[in-house]
Structure 1
Amino acid sequence: MSFLTNILKFVVVLSVQLVGLAASKSDVSSSTAQVYWKSLFPHTPLPGVLANQLIYPSDLSGDYFRAILKDMVTKFRTIEVDEKFKYDSPKVESDSANKLDYDNVHKDVFFFETKLHEGANMDAMELTIGENNVAFLPRSIADTIPFSSQNFSQILTYFSVSPESPVASVIKETIELCEIPALKGELKRCSTSFEDFLDYAISLLGKHVQIFTPSLETKSSHPNLTVGHVTQLVGKSVVMCHKLNYAYAVYLCHSLKRTHLYEVYLIGKDGSRGTSLAACHQDTSSWSAKHLAFHVLKVQPGTVPICHFLKKGTIVWVPSP
C-alpha cells in the first residue's frame, strides 16, 4: 500500500472520528476554546497566534483534513532538510544528528550572547523555514488518541500508517522527543490539546503572563540579516513551547532557569523586517559534551552562555512585569 494511500486512509478515519465526536462533545468548537481562555485570562484577548490554531465547527469536515493532508505530505517530503535545523532543544547531540553535513551548517545556528547588539550581521537561515500550520485539537478529542511509545503500534493502526512509511518515522521521532527525560533544572511536557497547553504554562508561571512569538517574515530563502534594536524580556523563568512535526498541534514546552530571552528586531537586505526571539542559556553544564552547539562554537559545556534563535511557530510565555 502506497504512502499516499496510507495518509488518505488516515485522513478519512480521523475525519470520521472527529466529526462524530464533534456532535457529542460541546467543547470541540473554537467558541468554547475561547471561553476556556477567557476563564483563565478574563482581561486579555486571545492572541492571534493561538486563535489561528483553533478548529472551528465548520472546519470539522473533509476540506479541513485535506488541508492537513497537504501539509503533512509536504513536511514529510522535506524532513531531511528540516532535520538540519532541529536545534531548539538543548538535547540535540551531534551523534544523534549524524546525518548532518557539518561543512554546510551555517555559522549562526548557535552564537554567543555578545553578538546580540545593534549592527551585528546574522546568518540565521533557520528563520526562513516555514512553520507547521496544523491546528490544536480540543482536549476531549486529543485525550482519546494514544500518544506514547508503548502504544506506537496502536497509533500506527489508528492512523492507518505503515510501519515502514516516512509518516511512521516522524510519529516515532516526535513521541520519543517528548519522552526524553528533562535536564537538571528543566521542567518539560508535550501538550497535545489547547487546554493542556494553557494549563501547563499556568502551572509553571501563574496567570500574570505575556505571550511572545517570532514575527519575522523573510522574503528570500537565505536573507542577509542585520540586528536592529535588542530588548531583553525580563523574567526569572520563561516557558518556551516548540511546535513539533505531527498530524495535529503538539507543543513541547519546557522551562529552563538561567535562560535570558531577547526580542531581536532584524532587518534584511532583501526587505525582510520583523522580530525574532533569541534564547541564551546561561548554564550548559548539564548538556551532553556531544551537543551540536559545542561542535559549532568550539567550546566546552558550562563555560560560556550559548544562544540560538527560536523558529517560527515557537510560543514563549514570560511572567508579566
Structure 2
Amino acid sequence: MEFNFLPIFTFLSLTLVTGHAAVSPEAYWNMVLQNTPMPRTVKNLLPSEGNVVAGQGRDYPVRPPFDLCYDISFTNGYEPPVHYGSTFFLEEDFKQGTKRKLDLSTMTQTNGVTFLPRQVAQMIPFSSNKFLEILNRFLIKPNSVEAEIIKETIKRCERSSFQGEQKYCATSLESMIDFCTSMFGKNIQALSTELEKLQEYRISGFKKIGRGGPDDPAVCHMQNYPYAVFYCHNIRSTETYMLSLEGTDGTKAKGAVVCHKNTSAWNPKHLAFQILKVKPGTVPICHALSQDSIVWLPN
C-alpha cells in the first residue's frame, strides 16, 4: 500500500523555490528551544537535505490505534480498541525495584514519513470539509483503505476536548513547538522512548521527570498520515518517568512512561483494568509510550 507523493512533491518544490528564506523545522527548534536537546523521535522525522518528503514511494504503514486510545476513554460507555504498541503496568512495579519484563517488540516506529515545513503544511488542507481535496492532492481513491485512514485521523483531530484536556493536532514541528511552549514556556523538556531494537526488556531503574500537579505533561502521538502529524494533549493528574531498560541480549535502552494518578472516571471496560485486574480509581496506571510519541514538560 502506497501514498503517491508526486503531487505534493511538485507542490513543495514550487513552494520552496518561492519561499527559500523560510526557517527550516530544525532551525526553528534551535532558535526557540536553545536549551532543549532534540529527542531521537524528532531527529528521525526531520526532512533530509534536498528532499522535504522523505518516505516518498515507500509503503504507507497501517498501524493499530495509538496510545491516545487509552487516554480518551474517560467517558463512561467508551470501549477502547485493542492496541499493540503500549504496555500497561502499575507504578509500584518499577518503584519497588522489581525486574518486571516489558514486551516492547511491537513498539511503533516512524516508518519513513517526515515533518513538512510549516509554511508548506499551512497550504495543505487538513479538514473534514476538504476531505476530497486532500485525497485528490495525494491521488488517493475515495473508497480506499488509505482514504479511510486519512478520514479517521482528521476526525480524531476534530473531536471536542474532554474535561481537563487541552488538545491540538500539529501538522508541523513548528506548530507543535508553539503549542507546547504556550503551556510550559521555553524552558522545556522533550522526551521519547529510544530503543536500539525491538525485543523484550527488563526495567533496571527509573527517574521521575517534573513535579506533577501543575507540571502535568503534554504528550504528542504521531498519527497515520502521509506526512508527520501529531495529536498533542495535556491531561491532569499525570506523572512522567524515564525508565532504564535492559534487553534480553544486554542492549541498553530508555522508555518514556506516563502514569495516570486518577482513573476514577475511566470506562470500567478499559483495557488496562482487564490486564491489571484492578478497578477504576484504585491505583495509578502507567503505560510505556511508543517510539513515535513525545512527552513535553517544563524543566
Please indicate the TM-score interval, normalised by the length of the shorter structure: 0.7 to 0.9
Q: CA separation in 2, counterparts of 1:27 and 1:173? A: 35
Alignment partner for residue 67 of structure 2, among 82, 87, 106? 87
Q: CA separation in 2, counterparts of 1:13 and 1:29? A: 23
1:229 aligned onto 2:205: yes
TM-score normalised by structure 1 residue count: 0.81
Alignment partner for residue 146 of structure 2, among 163, 167, 170? 167
Shift of 1:287: 2.8
Structure 1 gap segments, 5+ residues each: none
| Residue 36 of structure 1: aligned partner | 28
Q: CA separation in 2, counterparts of 1:299 and 1:266? A: 25
Q: How does 1:48-87 map to 2 (within 5 A)?
A: 49-60=41-52, 64=53, 67-72=55-60, 75-76=61-62, 79=63, 82-83=64-65, 86-87=66-67
Q: Which structure has greater helix proportion?
A: 1
TM-score normalised by structure 2 residue count: 0.86
| Residue 312 of structure 1: aligned partner | 291
Q: Which has the higher contact order (CA 8 A, sep 6+)?
A: 2
Q: How does 1:109-188 map to 2 (within 5 A)?
A: 109-117=87-95, 118-125=97-104, 128-188=107-167
- The one-letter amino acid of 2:202's match is T
Shift of 1:15: 0.9
Q: CA separation in 2, counterparts of 1:15 and 1:87? A: 30
Q: CA separation in 1, counterparts of 2:225 and 2:22? A: 20
User: How has the CA–CA distance of structure 1 residues 290 and 154 changed in structure 2, closer, same or farther, with 3 Å as cutoff?
Assistant: farther
Between the two proteins, the alignment pairs up a number of residues equal to 291
Q: Secondary structure at the match of 2:89?
A: coil
Asked whether the 8 Å contact 2:218–2:232 carries over to 1, the reply is yes
Alignment partner for residue 217 of structure 2, among 238, 249, 254? 238
Alignment partner for residue 265 of structure 2, among 273, 286, 296? 286
Q: Secondary structure at the match of 1:116?
A: helix
Shift of 1:184: 1.7
1:20 aligned onto 2:20: no
Asked whether the 8 Å contact 2:115–2:227 carries over to 1, the reply is yes
Q: CA separation in 1, counterparts of 2:102 and 2:145? A: 30
Q: CA separation in 2, counterparts of 1:226 and 1:137? A: 36
User: How has the CA–CA distance of structure 1 residues 202 and 295 changed in structure 2, closer, same or farther, with 3 Å as cutoff?
Assistant: same
Q: Tell me which moved more, 196-205 or 234-243.
A: 234-243
Q: CA separation in 2, counterparts of 1:312 and 1:139? A: 23
Q: Tell me which moved more, 86-95 or 114-123.
A: 86-95
Q: CA separation in 2, counterparts of 1:138 and 1:37? A: 12
Asked whether the 8 Å contact 1:111–1:297 carries over to 2, the reply is yes
Shift of 1:226: 1.5
| Residue 200 of structure 1: aligned partner | 179
Shift of 1:290: 3.4
Shift of 1:159: 1.6
- The one-letter amino acid of 2:47's match is I
Shift of 1:127: 5.4
Asked whether the 8 Å contact 1:11–1:69 carries over to 2, the reply is yes
| Residue 275 of structure 2: aligned partner | 296
User: How has the CA–CA distance of structure 1 residues 137 and 233 changed in structure 2, closer, same or farther, with 3 Å as cutoff?
Assistant: same
Shift of 1:56: 4.4
Asked whether the 8 Å contact 2:203–2:246 carries over to 1, the reply is yes
Which deviations, in whole Å up to 9, do the C-alpha atoms of 1:244-295 show, x marking residues without a partner? 1111111111112211111101112223321001110011233333332223
User: How has the CA–CA distance of structure 1 residues 239 and 136 changed in structure 2, closer, same or farther, with 3 Å as cutoff?
Assistant: same
Shift of 1:139: 1.3
Shift of 1:191: 0.2
